[in-house]
Amino acid sequence: MVYDNTMTEFNDHARRIETQIKPTSHPLAVKLLRKREDIPTGAKRPTVEYGKCMSTCQCFALSRKYGETVAQLFEDMWCPEPVIGFGLAETPRLFLDGHNRYPSGVASLKAGANWAREFPTVETGRYVGVVSAPLSTANFEPNVAVIYCNSAQLLRLLLAIAYEDGRDITTVLGGHSACIYAVVPSLIKNKCQVSVPCRGDRERAGAQDDEMIFTVPRDQIGRLAHGLEQEGTGSYPTGFSMTPEYKMSESYAELARKMGMRRADGSEIKGYKQEERKRSLQYR
């Protein structure tokens, strides 16, 4: 579905998320394209705009760092792994047999095949390409939102997504193909995903040492924005203290007392109100 230039609910969710966690790059709207006609108005194609093919991580970087809307079809692709992961071509036997990873990356051909056969993929031929744009300005409905963040921001995102139902997320972590691990598992399972920038993302698209990736499926983006705005998920300590028997929250102290825990001197554990604890560790 392609929207006009008016603000969509996803643009609004993006602004709320950015206000809360202040990421250094735009949260991404990512959509897999079922047909060429689904390319959004104003999207740039690497082979058309630049006369060159590009890796998907590079296209994501153009979107998250420079605000571009970038669409890739098969003929725009340079890295073969997103071609496989997004199902834009039949997977070669060479890949499935493990030669993509062996001998340089794993100990045996079997190990390479294990990785290849567990590589997240969508059905071949279902999609013809992928488009990315800043979530705050995207003129299309995303399949997922992809947020590059540091560990403190990731902490808040995890707290926020658990606000509604209290459930933690499970994730698939791999050291390769960040563009695929950040998109495909979340798309297939309709669940949030944490992933890490791969070597290609780092060496070809500028991902940094302190960056992680958090992905949220389309129908949970608003839930994430809402969770971030709640008092209990809305801050984290910026101070640091190794003080033993530090000030414990009232709820933690009550839980400790119920289990018979005590201070080292035998006295009862006391809880402290939230504001007093926040001041002690300079929460923001």
pLDDT digits (tens, 9 = 90+) for 115-125: 999 999 999 99
Indicate if 152 and 252 belong to the same structural domain: no
Provide mean pLDDT across the span 182-196.
98
- What total number of domains does the chain contain? 2
Instruction: Report yes or no on 102 lying in a domain.
Output: no
> Do 52 and 154 have their domain in common?
yes
Q: Is residue 6 packed enough to be buried (19+ CB in 10 Å), middle (13-18) or exposed (0-12)?
A: exposed
Range of the domain at 16: 9-89+124-233
The predicted-structure confidence for 130-183, as pLDDT tens digits, reads as follows: 999 999 999 999 999 999 999 999 999 999 999 999 999 999 999 999 999 999
pLDDT score, position 2: 40
pTM of the model: 0.92
Residue 197 in domain: yes
pLDDT at 233: 87
Q: Which residues are paired to 129 by β-bridges?
A: 33, 73
- 116 belongs to a structural domain: no
Nearest 5°: phi and psi at 176? -125, 165
pLDDT at 4 over 60: no
pLDDT of residue 283: 65
pLDDT digits (tens, 9 = 90+) for 9-66: 999 999 999 999 999 999 999 999 999 999 999 999 999 999 999 999 999 999 999 9
pLDDT > 90 fraction of the chain, expressed in percent and rounded: 87
**Does residue 174 fall inside a structural domain?**
yes
Q: Is residue 187 domain-shared with residue 226, that is, in the same domain? A: yes
pLDDT-derived band of residue 276, with 50, 70 and 90 as boundaries? confident
Same domain, 254 and 201: no
Q: Give yes or no: residues 270 and 211 share one domain.
A: no
- Does 106 map to a domain? no
Given a cut of 90, is residue 82 above it in pLDDT?
yes
Local confidence band at 274 (pLDDT 50, 70, 90 cut-offs): confident
Same domain flag for 62 and 145: yes
At 3, the pLDDT band (50, 70, 90 cuts) reads very low
Percentage of residues of the chain with pLDDT beyond 70: 95
* 8-state DSSP, 7: P
Residue 6 has pLDDT above 70, yes or no: no
Residue 282 has pLDDT above 70, yes or no: no
Q: Are the C-beta atoms of 245 and 101 separated by less than 8 Å?
A: no
Residues 144, 273 within the same domain: no
Average pLDDT over residues 83-89: 98
Q: Which pLDDT score is estimated for 195?
A: 98
> Do 210 and 133 reside in the same domain of the chain?
yes
Same domain, 156 and 81: yes
| 41 located within any domain | yes
**131 near 69, Cβ under 8 Å?**
yes
Could you tell me if 42 and 159 lie in one domain?
Answer: yes
Q: Are strands 271-272 and 248-249 parallel, antiparallel or unpaired?
A: parallel
| C-alpha span between 283 and 86 (Å, rounded) | 42
Same domain (yes/no): 182, 215: yes
Phi, psi dihedrals of residue 43, rounded to the nearest 5°: -70, 145
Confidence check: pLDDT of 107 > 80? yes
User: Same domain for 131 and 21?
Assistant: yes
